[in-house]
Structure formats: C-alpha cells, structure tokens
Amino acid sequence: MSLTAQYLFKLFKMPDFFGVNRYCNICGFRFAKFATTGLIPREARCPVCESLERHRHLYIHLLPLLPFLKGKRVLHFAPEKIIKDFFTHSDAEYFDVDIEKGRASYQIDITRIDFEDNFFDYCIAIHVLEHIVDDAKAFSELYRVLKPGGTAFLAVPAERKAFEDYSVVAPIDRLKTFGQGDHVRIYSQDLFEERILAAGFTVQTSTPSAFPDEMREACKLGDVITLAKK
C-alpha cells in the first residue's frame, strides 16, 4: 500500500477531523482541526502523519533541500518518524541516531559523536539538548562533525526565563522543576543561542511569526528553529 493510500485509509477512520481550517504542509491533508496532545493539551498533532508544530516548521526549511541532497550526509538525533521518512525517501546518506539502543540505526551519545571531523553536511536535533547535562560538549561535537558550510537544525522548548539546577536529578523532581522528568534545564532562546555561538557557530533563527498569519494558523507552526552554521 502506497504512503498516500495509507494516509487516506487512516484519514477516513477519523471523521471528526474532516474540514479545511487546518493544513499539514508535510502530508498535504486538510482538517477541521489538529489532534490535541501534551500534558497541557493543545491542538498540535496531525491526525494523518502525526507531525507536531515544530516538525511542520522544520519541514519548511528541509523541503527546498530535497533536490540537492544527493551525496549529502545527514545526522539526525532522536529521529522523529515523519522527518526520518523525508530523508529515507531522498538521495541523502542518512544516519539516524539515538542514545538509547534500538531506537535508531546507530546508538550514539551527542556528547561523544563517533564520526570523524567535518563529516556531515547537516545535523538535526529537535528537542534534544534540554535532555543533555553537558550541552557545551554537545554543541562542540556538533560543530566538530559538521563540514565547513554545514548547518545544524536545532530547537528546544524555550521559555522567557532560563533555569538550571543540576542538583535536581530525580525524575519526579525534574518533572516539577523543568516540566518533564527527563529534562535537565529550561532554556530561554537567548541562552540557547549564546551556547551555540560559544561553540563557534553563526546563528540564524526562524520564528513562526516570520510567516504569513494565515499560513502560521492553518499549519499551527511552532517553536523557534535555530539554524547553526559552521
């Protein structure tokens, strides 16, 4: 069964979502609404491809790369299925990795990336760095393995005010302090960019507000996507 047929089969099992107010720019379907998700419920998840706000925002930057990925190497941490599908159906040399065994093709720690210097054209780490205690080492490793001219697409759940306390280690305490049991800090976007710059990158940010209102609302774009360039 083709991907389109699978999506259609799934969609017609979901009559509550029929409509045209929402649009998923990844799978191309329209809905009355996206599905709700999260500890604090929000309308965010595509009922067909299961993308979230951050994936639809990231996809705007990935799609123009598609004709030019032949021979390019891509390193993708904690690979989201919808983004993994994009690269596995491209001509890129794609490496999906995770720190947990069995979650991806390669088991790799972002603070100790087992590849040589200047190896990758693109790196992707979306909602990863807030889990990493030694984020400076992670940024340094990303910089090391990227080729000159390469780009890392990065995003974290950022708040207005940053907070770190490494004495908080129990999952229940991290849940109370950081909003999730496996988070180790709350970033602000300023702090996030500051640490990326400290690793040697230049930074370009893409915010949902940069897109037309009707596009932002229909696609429910979210998160700041930070393009860290070597």
Query: 13 pLDDT exceeds 90?
Result: no
Q: What is the DSSP letter of 86?
A: H
pLDDT for position 37: 86
Give the DSSP per-residue string, 26-57. Answer: TT--EES-PEEETTTTEEEE-TTT---HHHHH
pLDDT tens sequence across 90-133: 999 999 999 999 999 999 999 999 999 999 999 999 999 999 99
Percent over 70 (pLDDT), the chain: 93
Helices (H), the chain: 3-11, 53-62, 81-88, 135-145, 171-178, 189-198, 213-219
CB–CB of 50/228 below 8 Å? Answer: no
pLDDT for position 156: 97
CA nearest neighbour of 55 among 222, 227, 230: 222
Q: Report the range of poorest mean pLDDT among 79-88, 178-187, 219-228.
A: 178-187
pLDDT for position 1: 45
Q: What is the DSSP letter of 226?
A: E
Two tokens, residue 131? 């889990």
Query: 5 pLDDT exceeds 70?
Result: no
Two tokens, residue 117? 């210097």
Query: 73 pLDDT exceeds 90?
Result: yes
pLDDT tens sequence across 159-181: 999 999 888 989 898 888 888 88
Q: Which residues of 30-65 are buried (b: 16+ CB within 10 A; e: fewer)?
A: ebeebbeeeeeeeebbbbbbbbbbbbbbbbbebeeb
3-class state of residue 188 by DSSP: strand
Query: 18 pLDDT exceeds 80?
Result: no
Around Cβ 128, how many Cβ atoms within 10 Å? 18
pTM of the model: 0.91
Give the CA distances from residue 44 to residues 62, 80, 119, 222, in Å, rounded to whole numbers and listed in that order.
20, 15, 35, 9
CB–CB of 133/143 below 8 Å? Answer: no
pLDDT for position 218: 97
